């Protein structure tokens, strides 16, 4: 059965002291509140080992923001799957829209990264989604289909059940454009249908699909109530404990 998940992507934010404070606040919240979803964070790589120490009892999943497709070698600045495994990290984001935009990542890169993570027993959170011009031209289904098939459809049925997908409509992130809960549901249902066509409905029903299009405290409950939306990949709102916890509570009835 698929999981409800709220994952906070900190991106390149917070100095060490600020990161420690936010982690302590999140740990305190988790100790004192029952949540109806799993909670993950993806802090900057510099803080991953520290985060694993803070959440040593598994209160919060700890994910990298990116991982190398290579096992080791002369790849300056990269982090390998083995390095993540050695600190007991839970997994990594793969091909976030900002990695695609600013670092030229493709779904072929994503495919190799997803496989590398799965081979070590770590969880990939694979990100996809269309840009504004692709949405306006009505190509959003085509774009998401191509992304999903290239990145994931070389996996076995057992492997794809271990992948978390995060649908990010790039046009609804920091652009002033707003996606409705119904638009989120429409694409989530489409992604799930692609998986069902390839692997069968039972497999598709086990894959968690998160929404990454500017989820905020005031829209989280509506978005999370959609039948094919299993949570959110949260950006800016994950940097403030009050906002992040209110989003987590979007799963409370």
| pLDDT tens column, 59-109 | 999 999 999 999 999 999 999 999 999 999 999 999 999 999 999 999 999
Paired sense of beta strands 209-211 and 164-167, if any? parallel
User: What mean pLDDT do residues 150-168 have?
Assistant: 98
Which residues are marked as active site?
96, 168
pLDDT digits (tens, 9 = 90+) for 6-22: 999 999 999 999 999 99
Q: Which helix (H) or strand (E) holds 243?
A: helix 241-248
Contacts of residue 156, Cβ cutoff 8 Å, sequence gap at least 6: none
Q: What is the DSSP letter of 208?
A: -
Cα 18 from Cα 16, distance rounded (Å): 5
pLDDT at 239 over 90: yes
Q: Is 214 annotated as a binding residue?
A: yes
- Residue percentage of the chain with pLDDT more than 90: 92
10 annotated to bind ligand: yes
pLDDT for 81 equals 98
- The predicted-structure confidence for 117-141, as pLDDT tens digits, reads as follows 999 999 999 999 999 899 999 999 9
Residue-level pLDDT at 172: 81
Helices marked H in 120-238: 132-136, 140-152, 157-160, 181-199, 201-204, 220-224
To the question of whether residue 9 is assigned a binding role by annotation, the answer is: yes
User: What domains can you pick out in the chain, each with its CATH number?
Assistant: 5-251 (3.20.20.70)
State yes or no: 11 annotated in a binding site: yes
Angle at 94 between CA 118 and CA 100, to 5 degrees: 150
236 annotated among ligand-binding-site residues: yes
What pLDDT was estimated at residue 214? 82
Which contacts qualify for 98-107: CB closer than 8 Å, 24 or more apart? 98/11, 99/66, 101/170, 106/150, 107/146, 107/147, 107/150, 107/151
Measured between alpha carbons, how far is 175 from 83 in angstroms, rounded to an integer?
35
Q: pLDDT band at residue 238, thresholds of 50, 70 and 90?
A: very high
Q: Which ranges in 33-90 belong to alpha helices (H)?
A: 48-54, 81-86
What confidence score (pLDDT) does residue 163 get? Answer: 98
Question: Has 235 been labeled as part of a binding site?
Answer: yes
* pTM, full prediction: 0.96
Per the CB < 8 A criterion, the answer to whether 39 and 60 are in contact is yes
């Amino acid at each position: 059965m698929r999981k409800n998940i709220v994952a906070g992507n900190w991106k390149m934010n917070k100095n060490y002291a600020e990161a420690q404070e936010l982690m302590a606040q999140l740990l305190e919240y988790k100790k004192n509140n029952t949540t109806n979803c799993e909670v993950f964070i993806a802090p900057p790589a510099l803080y991953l080992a520290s985060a694993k120490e803070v959440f040593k009892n598994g209160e919060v999943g700890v994910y990298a923001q990116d991982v190398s497709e290579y096992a080791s070698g002369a790849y300056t600045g990269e982090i390998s799957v083995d390095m993540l495994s050695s600190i007991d990290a839970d997994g990594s984001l793969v091909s976030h829209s900002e990695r695609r935009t600013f670092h030229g990542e493709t779904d072929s890169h994503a495919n190799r990264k997803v496989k590398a993570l799965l081979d070590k027993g770590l969880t990939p959170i694979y990100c996809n989604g269309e840009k504004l011009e692709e949405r306006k031209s009505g190509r959003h289904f085509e774009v998401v289909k191509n992304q999903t098939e290239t990145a994931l459809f070389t996996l076995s049925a057992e492997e794809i059940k271990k992948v978390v997908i995060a649908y990010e409509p790039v046009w609804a992130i920091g652009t002033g454009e707003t996606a409705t809960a119904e638009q989120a549901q429409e694409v989530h249902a489409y992604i799930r249908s692609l998986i069902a066509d390839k692997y069968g409905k039972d497999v598709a029903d086990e894959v968690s699909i998160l929404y990454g299009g500017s989820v905020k405290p005031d829209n989280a409950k509506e978005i999370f109530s959609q039948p094919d939306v299993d949570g959110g990949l949260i950006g800016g709102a994950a940097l403030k404990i009050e906002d992040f916890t209110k989003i987590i509570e979007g799963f409370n009835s």
